[in-house]
């Protein structure tokens, strides 16, 4: 059984027990359980349910494993002969979650 969920502007194919890295999720302090309400598709054997765009009543429950930041990327802007140089670093925050249950 697997599902396709939408979070952070992206879509993820998840199964029970999967650990995925998604965009940073704001949550209350000490809350470790997350419910994804935007379920786009659920496949259970030969039974396929597709939403328009989401399935009513379907949800995916997950547990937060960790919050963190990705590796730093360097953004460098440069214009030749104009003495223009800008160097900037960026670390994108993420939330790592483990899928515990898929509910239709």
Residue 38 confidence (pLDDT) above 90: yes
Q: What are the residue ranges spanned by the domains of the chain?
A: 2-103
Q: What is the pLDDT of residues 9-34, one digit of tens each?
A: 999 999 999 999 999 999 888 888 99
- SS3 of residue 48 by DSSP: strand
pTM, 2 dp: 0.82
Angle at 31 between CA 42 and CA 53, to 5 degrees: 25
Measured distance CA(18)–CA(26) in Å, rounded: 21
Going by the DSSP 8-state scheme, the letter that residue 17 receives in this structure is T
Measured distance CA(44)–CA(11) in Å, rounded: 18
Looking only at the bridges linking them, the beta strands covering 93-103 and 73-79 are unpaired
């Amino acid at each position: 059984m697997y599902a396709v969920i939408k979070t952070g502007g992206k879509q993820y194919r998840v199964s029970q027990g999967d650990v995925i890295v998604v965009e940073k999720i704001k949550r209350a302090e000490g809350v470790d359980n997350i419910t994804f309400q935007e379920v786009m598709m659920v496949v259970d054997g030969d039974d396929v349910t597709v939403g328009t765009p989401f399935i009513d009543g379907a949800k995916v429950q997950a547990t937060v494993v960790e919050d963190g930041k990705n590796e730093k990327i360097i953004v460098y802007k440069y214009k030749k002969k104009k003495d223009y140089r800008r160097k900037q670093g960026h670390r994108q925050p993420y939330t790592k979650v483990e899928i515990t249950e898929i509910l239709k």
